[in-house]
Amino acid sequence: MKPTGRGRRYSQDQHTQTAQGRGLPSALRPCSFYGVVRQRYTLHQLRAYAMRLRLAACPGLALLCVALPCQAQHYATDRGVWLLGGTARISNARDIGNDANTFVIDLNPKLGYFLTPGLALTANLEYAHFSSDAGSSSVYGVGPGLTYYIRHRQTMLNPFLSARTLYTHQRFHPDGAPTSTENSFTWLVSGGAAVFLARNVAITGELFYSHDHFSTDVSGTAQSNSAEEYGTQFGVAVYVF
């Protein structure tokens, strides 16, 4: 018996849909022309697959968002980096004519924090001790400063500009004479370079100019004066990040 026309149309449509849907999951294959219920079920499955993909992607995105800040590459003068550095001097001076020696220890530590890339706010300290046959004296000082590094990236040689102030107090202990004190205010500007031996360790060298204004109290008599100094100085800096 030959199939009816309706049967032939159904067989042709079914053959066409089977060919089009070959190799696809059953939920994604085209539905039959009369399968309204099957079509709704297929859309429901598509929504379910989309929801599964979203749920699977969320943990991956969360891990990516957490990992990206950790993988950010920092450099020595980047924002948020701490700076530990300073200069030190140990010397012995001899007055040949008077046959007198003076031993000097001068420490100038510095603690800084980079507010923006290249710009560090610093706290500067000073301790110095002078000892000679005529007596001894000690100096204590503290003051703020700013240091700006020219290059905002990891580099072996990084030039910088610096300005800082220092408030100091000095007490003299001469042999056979009354003790005296001296207070001074110092401002200093400098320019130099940091040579990096490692990613976070550098040797610094700079040319500087400083101006001091000090007042002295000797047995109740106040005196004041000013002085200036210029030269070179070297130090070590460690960048913590």
pLDDT tops 50 at residue 219: yes
Report the 10 Å Cβ neighbour count for 123.
14
Question: Which domains, from first to last, does the chain contain?
Answer: 5-71 (no CATH), 82-240 (2.40.160.20)
Mean pLDDT over 194-205 rounds to 95
Split at pLDDT 50, 70, 90, the class of 47 is low
Report which of 14, 5, 7 is spatially closest to residue 33, judged by C-alpha positions.
14
Give the sign of the dihedral formed by CA 53, CA 59, CA 65, CA 68. negative
Q: Say what the pLDDT of residue 195 is.
A: 97
Q: What is the pLDDT of residue 99?
A: 80
Structure tokens at 66: 């957490």
C-alpha–C-alpha distance, residues 204 and 108, integer Å: 13
Whole-number Å distance between alpha carbons of 213 and 110: 22
What's the predicted TM-score (pTM) here?
0.64
pLDDT-derived band of residue 31, with 50, 70 and 90 as boundaries?
very low
Judged against a pLDDT cut of 50, whether residue 13 lies above it is answered with no
Q: Would you say residue 218 has pLDDT above 80?
A: no
Provide the pLDDT for residue 40.
46
Residue 42 or residue 121, greater confidence? 121
Residue in the block written with tokens 């993909």: 53
- pLDDT of 113-149, one tens digit each? 999 999 999 999 999 999 988 889 999 999 999 999 9
Asked if the model's pLDDT at residue 106 lies above 70, the reply is yes
Model pLDDT for residues 150-181, shown as the tens digit of each residue:
998 889 999 999 999 999 999 988 887 778 88
If one counts every other C-beta atom within 10 angstroms of the C-beta of residue 121, the result is 15
Q: What is the mean pLDDT of residues 181-203?
A: 95
**pLDDT category, 44, cuts 50, 70, 90?**
low
Please tell me the total number of residues recorded for the chain in this structure.
241
**Is 144 in contact with 161 (CB distance < 8 Å)?**
no
Residue 204 binned pLDDT confidence (cut-offs 50, 70, 90): very high
* DSSP assignment string, the chain: -PPPHHHHHHHHHHHHHHHHTTTS-GGGSPPPTT-HHHHHHHHHHHHHHHHHHHHHHHHHHHHHHHHHHHHPPP-TTSTT-EEEEEEEEEEEEEETTTTEEEEEEEEEEEEEEEEETTEEEEEEEEEEEEEETTEEEEEEEEEEEEEEES--S--SEEEEEEEEEEEEEEEEEETTS--EEEEEEEEEEEEEEEEEEETTEEEEEEEEEEEEEEEEEETTEEEEEEEEEEEEEEEEEEEE-
